[in-house]
Structure 1
Amino acid sequence: MVLKSFVKKSVIAGVTIWLSMFSAVAQIKQLTLSINPGKTYQTIDNFGASDAWACQFVGNWPDDKKNKIADLLFSDENYADGSPKGIGLSMWRFNVGAGSAEQGKASGIRDEWRRAESFLDADDTYNWNKQAGQVWFLKAAKKRKVPQFLGFTNSPPVKYTINGKAYANRGKINIAPEHYADFASYLARVIQGVEKISKVKFNYISPVNEPQWDWSDGGQEGCPYTNAEIAGLVKAIDKTFIAGNVHSKIIIGEAGSINYLFTKGDKPGKGYQINDFFKAASPGYLGNLPSVAPAITAHSYFTTSPMTASVKARKALADSVDKISGLTFWQSEYCILGDNAGEINGSHRDLGIDAALYMASVIHTDLTVANASAWQWWTAISAYDYKDGLIYIDKNKTDGNFYTSKMLWVLGNYSRFIKPGAKRIDVSLSKADLKKPLLISAYKNKRGLAVVIVNQNSEDMDITLDTNDGKIKFTTSYTTSATDGLKAATIAKSAVVVKARSVMTLSGKFK
């Protein structure tokens, strides 16, 4: 039985404490946390979120409100008590629209909030006044020192699609090969044009999104691809970028589920993406192209429950990535969807700690088992009744109220304190019989040390902090709970109390 193999181990990769869910709950008064900074794992590239779909409207809201929202997402500043004003995202994903918004109802996309403008007009001219609300958020992120930006497309521009729509027909690719070069030229122009109007340069371009899905229902912009079709398109983009001296790196994958990276999957020609794109012997090999980033990306949907299955899949993913020298894995989109083995349902907003704790377990497992170098949430701002937003808004194009969720602050427990270039390091906890495991990971970076502790239990945990013979000094804790959002507290002694059902980040430094 798979579970027994976890019960026998107190530590997986020196990070996660997996204990029997069937043992009696011991009333643990004190645990000891130890850190081994000499044992390192992956380097972190970024934590991010995307501007789809609401930023096209919220970017035109009154200045005071949209600036407060931008502060929540991007700011690295603190209030007087030391608590953060925002979660300090290090990556912002910009939806490069296909032009369904200009088509209106004729687009076939029923919900206008899921349509998007395009900078390219029907007469082959470019209008850089388009996507103005989204461009405002680009500028706001740049002003607040967000270091990385990515432009992603859900569909090629409608001018180049086979059916003239921003969604496909019967699950088939919606762009003919003769238009690959046109699509590539369009992306190059968008990179250059957006930089001119916003001073933001896209570090990355992601031209394909969830290529395994059919995208034929008119629910949003979308385009399916086989791996061979992706290879053809990416080769055209690489050629265009080199010729045009465009230095943005192409991100490959964006698989609808992590399983498509290392298994055949249920879609012919759309699985085994790691080998197809990054194994040198593959006909679709792209790893040698100068414009291609050495990263494979996928979305954690439909693979997060139950925990035993989640861990097994992520271990297989990490093993597959490790076989390709220099390759990293990015978890590039997630929100809570579906039933999740009965653990939590993705329907209906949850501004509270329940959804946030589930989110924390996904982040933790992606980072510590799959060795993700990046972790990116789906939509930063949501107008819908799903567990898909960090910030929720009234569905109003010109003004309205906004509401923060605990999911925002839980992501901040990672994004605010673990910056690009940080390395995950080894951490362990003294043995204990707990109803649910404490999920712990640690990172060292230029700012020093960050340790994130996820306590899913209904009891507080007293934790003694091993200072490694005085070489580590913990200074501040930041707690997200049912009542707090990254609330700061000074660590006076080498011990902390981790509140029940909370996420705490410990900040410190090496002496």
Structure 2
Amino acid sequence: MKKSLLFLIFISQIGLSQKLKIDTKTTYQTIHSFGASDCWSMQMIGENYPIEKREKIASLLFSKQLDKAGNPKGIGLSMWRFNIGAGSTEQGIESKITNEWRRAECFLENEKYNWNKQRGQQWFLEAAKRNDVDFTLGFLNSAPVSMTKNGLAIGSGKLGEWNFDKNKIDDFTSFLTKVSAKLKFDYISPFNEPQWDWGPKSKSGFGSQEGTPINNDDLAWAVRKLDAKMTDRKLNTKVVITEAAQIDYMYKSKTNRSEAKQDNQIEDFFSKSSKNYVGNLNSAEKIICGHSYFTTSPSNELISKRQDLLAKVQQQKINYWQSEYCILGDNAGEIKGGGQDLGMKTALYVAKVIHADLTYANASAWHWWLSVSANDYKDGLIYISNNGVKGENDSNKFDGEVYDSKLLWAFGNFSRFVRPQMQRIKIETDNKDLMISAYKSSKQIVVVIVNSAQNQRIDLPNLTRNQVIDTYTTSKDKNLAHSKIKGTSIEIPAEAVVTLVTGLR
């Protein structure tokens, strides 16, 4: 029997020594991926921006290479999410979506497929594949406009009312399988945030983006139809559901979406006694996907909601993916979504959310929302602006400066080193200022430390025979900066995220 490895790390604080225990035998979830999406700017950037700027963005997002000093050139995403458009771009202003950036082209138009559509997004999809990103996923906000009830990619505004002509389900499943096969997606996510109404946002009748609600009954029906089509065509792409708008809707019943039959989704879709059970389908992964929006503050709710989610996930023996997040709202006064921030405040807040999703909800995947944003908002890993002009407008449509953020690199403290198939392992500390998680592969142990407080000194025992540990630090003046520890001590800077990487004995 292979012996468990038990490591002790001592944390010194003003003369006080505390023990940090890592037990490699006690394991939790297996990591699937860290990812981000191509909405909405990548269509503009991929089609219009100079090649050197496109390559710079691709390197920041996808590269796993190191520079001569050992610093990562990028954050090495392991999942790339591609928005499959519904055709609002071709409709122009008649789409009832005011903002051109929030519209999307469709591969199917006038009953013919045109694979030259979404060229800008396809450029980045190919860049992801060139950089050996492990997984790709296609997701929809709406069915193609030729298949919707109202001929638009926005809903009616009524909760639970699926904007889809059910007589066209065969056309819809054919569309999904053909796009998945052509673009070679590993996963397809047919429905996004079904709990929102996705209808007009004013009396003008205009909406903000493509989208449609759908209730649990219709969603299960459509997934069964899609599974039959994918099985018939022997497609390897797997279906994932449900991209819940908030994690509450996955595990809670009797919510404000109960009447519309849009909550309690874990039990509804994965309990064998449920009429909507889809856990036995060939193409459907035993995964529930949800978004961490509006559930991250205050800290007691950040933890308790994820503990409740985990209980339901474990009950049905499925995996959980946190499949979309950025900072929205005012978060109980802790941080506001408005206002671009390239610094550590946003980076540390998001790192706390990632840590909570991984350690309290056992998320096996964690995906950010906008990989690149033009907005004056906390929604991007990378930002673009033209001569300081922010926003989804003509100024930024054809060219602009490219700015990385501390959030990008702090996300990289996880995504670059916590790789697919690693297992989260047990780690304990009495130090309440540090958020620490640990992961192992057959050859490595990775420890990610989030420190929102003052400097902390950690004394390390001999983890390996030669005691060489690689560290990567993101702080106010460092971006995944590499160093090596050959002794038994490291100082964690104030307000920093630090990753330790070491070999197993």
TM over 0.5: yes
Matches within 5 A, 1:68-467: 68-121=56-109, 123-171=110-158, 172-194=161-183, 201-217=184-200, 218-264=207-253, 265-267=255-257, 268=259, 269-325=261-317, 327-394=318-385, 395=392, 396-429=396-429, 431-432=430-431, 437-446=433-442, 448-457=444-453, 459-467=454-462
Q: Could you tell me how far apart the structure 2 residues matched to 1:383 and 1:361 are?
A: 24
Conserved? CA contact 1:41–1:371, under 8 Å: yes
How far is the alpha carbon of 1:36 from its aligned partner?
0.8
Q: Could you tell me how far apart the structure 2 residues matched to 1:374 and 1:137 are?
A: 21
Q: Could you tell me how far apart the structure 2 residues matched to 1:40 and 1:417 are?
A: 18
Q: Paired residue for 1:10?
A: none
Q: Could you tell me how far apart the structure 1 residues matched to 2:303 and 2:141 are?
A: 29
Q: Could you tell me how far apart the structure 2 residues matched to 1:252 and 1:104 are?
A: 30
How far is the alpha carbon of 1:66 from its aligned partner?
0.5
Q: Identity of aligned pairs, percent? A: 48
Matches within 5 A, 1:46-65: 46-60=33-47, 61-65=49-53
Give per-residue Cα distances to partners, 1:300-337, cap 9 Å, x unaligned: 00000111111111001001010113x10000000011
Give per-residue Cα distances to partners, 1:383-423, cap 9 Å, x unaligned: 11110000001252221111101110011000000111000
How far is the alpha carbon of 1:29 from its aligned partner?
6.1
Q: Could you tell me how far apart the structure 2 residues matched to 1:407 and 1:30 are?
A: 31
SS at match of 2:124: helix
Conserved? CA contact 1:35–1:466, under 8 Å: no
Q: Which residue identity does 1:205 align to in structure 2? A: I
Relative contact order (C-alpha < 8 Å, sep 6+): which is higher? 1
Q: Which residue identity does 2:166 align to in structure 1? A: P
How far is the alpha carbon of 1:376 from its aligned partner?
0.3
Higher mean displacement: 236-245 or 82-91: 236-245
Q: Could you tell me how far apart the structure 1 residues matched to 2:372 and 2:428 are?
A: 36
Q: Which residue identity does 2:479 align to in structure 1? A: G
Q: Which residue identity does 1:377 align to in structure 2? A: W
Q: Which residue identity does 1:464 align to in structure 2? A: D
Q: Could you tell me how far apart the structure 2 residues matched to 1:75 and 1:32 are?
A: 36
Q: Which residue identity does 1:285 align to in structure 2? A: Y
For normalisation by structure 1, the TM-score amounts to 0.90
Q: Could you tell me how far apart the structure 1 residues matched to 2:504 and 2:488 are?
A: 14
Runs of 4+ residues deviating >6 angstroms: none
Q: 1:370 to 1:182 in 2, by over 3 A?
A: same
Q: Paired residue for 1:21?
A: none
How far is the alpha carbon of 1:427 from its aligned partner?
1.1
Give per-residue Cα distances to partners, 1:252-283, cap 9 Å, x unaligned: 11000000011022112000000000000101
How far is the alpha carbon of 1:173 from its aligned partner?
1.1
Q: Could you tell me how far apart the structure 1 residues matched to 2:341 and 2:31 are?
A: 28
Q: Could you tell me how far apart the structure 2 residues matched to 1:189 and 1:118 are?
A: 13
1:40 is the counterpart of 2:36 = no
How far is the alpha carbon of 1:71 from its aligned partner?
0.3
SS at match of 1:486: strand
How far is the alpha carbon of 1:425 from its aligned partner?
0.5
Root-mean-square deviation over aligned CA pairs: 1.6
How far is the alpha carbon of 1:30 from its aligned partner?
5.2
Q: Which residue identity does 1:40 align to in structure 2? A: T
How far is the alpha carbon of 1:466 from its aligned partner?
3.6
Q: Could you tell me how far apart the structure 1 residues matched to 2:369 and 2:96 are?
A: 23
How far is the alpha carbon of 1:244 from its aligned partner?
1.4
Q: Could you tell me how far apart the structure 2 residues matched to 1:472 and 1:417 are?
A: 21
SS at match of 2:168: helix
Q: Could you tell me how far apart the structure 1 residues matched to 2:239 and 2:87 are?
A: 22
Q: Could you tell me how far apart the structure 1 residues matched to 2:468 and 2:211 are?
A: 47
Q: 1:105 to 1:370 in 2, by over 3 A?
A: same
Q: Could you tell me how far apart the structure 1 residues matched to 2:313 and 2:403 are?
A: 38
Q: Could you tell me how far apart the structure 2 residues matched to 1:81 and 1:344 are?
A: 35
How far is the alpha carbon of 1:145 from its aligned partner?
0.7
Aligned length: 474
How far is the alpha carbon of 1:447 from its aligned partner?
5.0
Q: Could you tell me how far apart the structure 1 residues matched to 2:298 and 2:15 are?
A: 26
Q: Could you tell me how far apart the structure 2 residues matched to 1:471 and 1:228 are?
A: 57
Give per-residue Cα distances to partners, 1:424-477, cap 9 Å, x unaligned: 001122x34x5xx310000002451110000000x1000112445x57945211
SS at match of 2:56: helix
Q: Could you tell me how far apart the structure 1 residues matched to 2:233 and 2:333 are?
A: 51
SS at match of 1:59: helix
Conserved? CA contact 2:38–2:371, under 8 Å: yes
Q: Which residue identity does 1:317 align to in structure 2? A: L
Q: Could you tell me how far apart the structure 1 residues matched to 2:382 and 2:169 are?
A: 36
Q: Could you tell me how far apart the structure 1 residues matched to 2:17 and 2:466 are?
A: 20
Q: Could you tell me how far apart the structure 1 residues matched to 2:167 and 2:277 are?
A: 21
Q: What stretches of structure 1 of length at least 5 have no aligned partner?
A: 1-13, 15-25, 195-200
How far is the alpha carbon of 1:28 from its aligned partner?
5.7
SS at match of 2:316: coil
Q: Could you tell me how far apart the structure 1 residues matched to 2:157 and 2:199 are?
A: 6
Q: Could you tell me how far apart the structure 1 residues matched to 2:406 and 2:472 are?
A: 13
SS at match of 1:289: coil
Q: Paired residue for 2:389?
A: none
How far is the alpha carbon of 1:367 from its aligned partner?
0.1
